[in-house]
Amino acid sequence: MSITAKHIDISGLVQGVGFRPFIYRHAKQHDLTGWVRNYTGGVEIHLEGNKADYHKFIDTLRNKAPRASQISKIKENPTDTYHYSSFTIQPSLNGSQKITNISPDIAVCEDCLEDIKKQPRRFRYPFTNCTHCGPRFSIVKDLPYDRKHTTMKDFEMCPDCREEYENVTDRRFHAQPVSCRKCGPIFELIGNKNSLEKKLEYNFDSNLPDSWQLTVGNMQEEYLFANCQLPIANLKKPSTKNTHLLNKLAQSITSGKILALKSIGGFQLIADATNEATIRRLRKIKQRHSKPFAVMFKDLETVKQFARVSNAEAKALQSWRRPIVILREKKSLSKEVNRDFPTLGVVLPYSPLHYLMMEALDTPAIVFTSANLKGQPLISENEKARQLLENNFCDAVLQHNREISHRLDDSIVRIINGKPALIRRARGFVPEPIQMKANVEGVLAMGADLKNSFCTGKDRRAIMSQYVGDLENFDVFHLYQNSIHEFLRLFRVKPEIIACDTHPDYHSSKYAVRLIRKDTNLNGKKPQLVCVQHHHAHIASVMAEHHLDEKVIGVAMDGTGYGDDGKIWGSEFFVNGLESYERHYHLAYLPLPGGEKAIKEPWRVATAVLYQIFGREFLQFPQNRDMAKKDQLSVIKAVQKNLNIHKSCGMGRLFDVAAALLNLLHTSHFDGEGPIKLENITTSAEQSYPFRLENATFNYEPIIRSMVDELRANAPKGTIAARFHNTIIEMIEYGVKKISASEGIKKVALSGGIFQNKYITEKLTARLIKNGMTVYTNEKVPANDGGIALGQMVIADKKKQLCV
């Protein structure tokens, strides 16, 4: 029998997802010999055996790989035959600048959920995991992905866990975070009395063999699922009396307490989602006036009692990524959860502790929000969480002693056109790379200042960071700087090009300049700085995702982006290539009285726009009765004198004006509040308002006049909102058709925060397709500023190619 010998190199997301055990099992199944091992570039395999068996193995490899794995490339090459007698898993190799993909954190699997119900060593153990699930990126400190390079290095495996770890047929073979109650991390519940943490004394309670009880005077606290030294044979099922810690936690939550819980990527504040008084307190603590809270439900069946769930939404909710999914509310939990928003941000449990806690609770859902104060980054350190307790921002802290290496907020998605559209990209997605058409090695893209994520280039992979936040806050900016350096170290990137926004006052742009001054690249030269226009980057992010390197019609709609004329752009119709763009049309500029202040107080923009169109007559309009006349008069005076009046053609600002006209809001408490409220009240009205294209500018005056006329006629607000949306859809369609006719381009890329609007994106896409266009949108990064860095990267790389 002739023997085939092949060397196989597999790149992609193939470490930390059970890939080597999968290879081992199927190599044995197909009677193949050789070996498999991790190395910093991926997984490599040496195979020897019958040619037919080899092809069966390759077919299995391509079609039945582990659920969280993603194979980017399989390279097969003939090699020497060594006549191995068996198939083995060899130790990992290290030392190369080439790196493999690191797995995002994976929601707990069904097998592990069974283990915490039945397996003595893991009965109710909240750190249970295997090769198919559990923490990954959040615990990684270095590559390759081995236990010694994670925050589990300090927890020495017990003999039983070691046996599982070394048994190639076991589900926990080389599961780097593997542990049990005898050897793994522990949770600690810390209570609060008069906002002061108490010193705890350890006393073992034999009635609770899976926990340590801690006593302070007449107060009792407990370690949860501790490092128990009792023989497994002596363990009994823990008591289900009210003294059990899980029941104590449940009682605290249902009685109105707020708990800071250390989750996979950081601390969460949790509270009973039906307790209005508690949620009002939580809003006060987080200074969160109107932005909805996310909620966690026990299971999909319970979700369906309170929200409408499509098949695509159910699939996203139950996926191994476990994002927060924006759903339409059906039944209210509490008006304080979403404060008149008709949507719910819903997440299902993704760690064993979440499941255990939700089972113990006598409430359908809990508020599940990041444990950080307004403008601060997500808390991941135990010490900072205890400061929340000391300042009475929570009533207890449930912390554990496993370090979080990379803090990660929960990701957020919304189903648009039947597919998940990312609103925030973090846990479950990061650091999964976006495969690029060109080699982007050595490119660092800084991102924007709002909703920041940055991006590092490694060969043909763009590795986006997790959501960092808004860089105007000192602590967030400090996290941003540290995260950049950590990514560069972890992924072995030495920047040759640094790309940033053209806005001269962006913190990200200023930091790029600082990096250029102090860094040198591999050749001993300073990295090259490439400044990228904001909306060019938006469109390029779509092009990068879909491997487009040609002229497209780019439509970028958002609130703010620095323009080439020094004004604020945000309603851009481009003929867009990666190397350059031509601006064809945009919205007429709106006045922003007070500049940045007008963005946070949309009534100012509305007042200035109404004054421009109607003069002082608008002050007498019935719909203007909720406006403060004194404040409006001061704005009018500023407009008359052109005093501190900035100019913006951001589509988000026109949405703000429409929302203010309908009295949906006068002050914005979070980014995008006006546009979101406007979308939420839309009905199924088909009509639209007139608009005019004059000198490459879309005049919004006919739209505002029509809205005012309908308000005077007491038309329903939902109808007016729908017609406003329809008008924007027709405006974009009209602009795209005109450019297509003149330029002969049929490919359209849509990006910017406005395209997170489900109503607009779905209806516009359908109309453009009907007109013979091929429409591309963001799918792997957010359409908002969280995806900007990807566009910056591909533009900078293209300019590098042109200079060679």
In this structure, the strands spanning 219-224 and 187-191 are antiparallel
Q: What phi and psi, each to the nearest 5 degrees, are found at residue 748?
A: -125, 130
AA letter at 256: G
Beta-bridge mates of residue 187:
224, 400
Is 38 designated active site?
yes
C-alpha span between 243 and 240 (Å, rounded) = 8
Look-up of token digits 């009002």 = 280
CA neighbours closer than 13 Å in the CB half-sphere of residue 355: 20
Nearest-10 crossing angle of helices 629-641, 602-614: 60
On the 0-12 / 13-18 / 19+ scale of CB atoms within 10 A, 383 is: exposed
Strand segments (E) across 225-349:
259-262, 267-272, 294-297, 307-308, 324-329, 343-347
CA distances from 751 to 389, 434, 467, 533, 537 (A): 42, 17, 18, 14, 9
Among the listed residues 20, 121, 653, 723, the single catalytic one is: 20
C-alpha span between 760 and 342 (Å, rounded) = 17
Closest CA to 486 of 100, 137, 42: 137
Strand, helix or coil for residue 361: coil
Closest CA to 157 of 137, 189, 129, 135: 129
Chain-centroid distance of CA 141 in Å reads: 21
651: its two tokens:
């589509």
Is 311 designated active site?
no
C-alpha span between 798 and 43 (Å, rounded) = 30
C-alpha span between 592 and 111 (Å, rounded) = 57
Between the CA atoms of 103, 106, 111 and 115, what dihedral angle is there, to the nearest 10 degrees? Answer: 110
Among the listed residues 38, 101, 192, 624, the single catalytic one is: 38
The residues near 160 (Cβ < 8 Å, ≥ 6 apart) are 121, 180, 182
Residues labelled as active-site residues: 20, 38
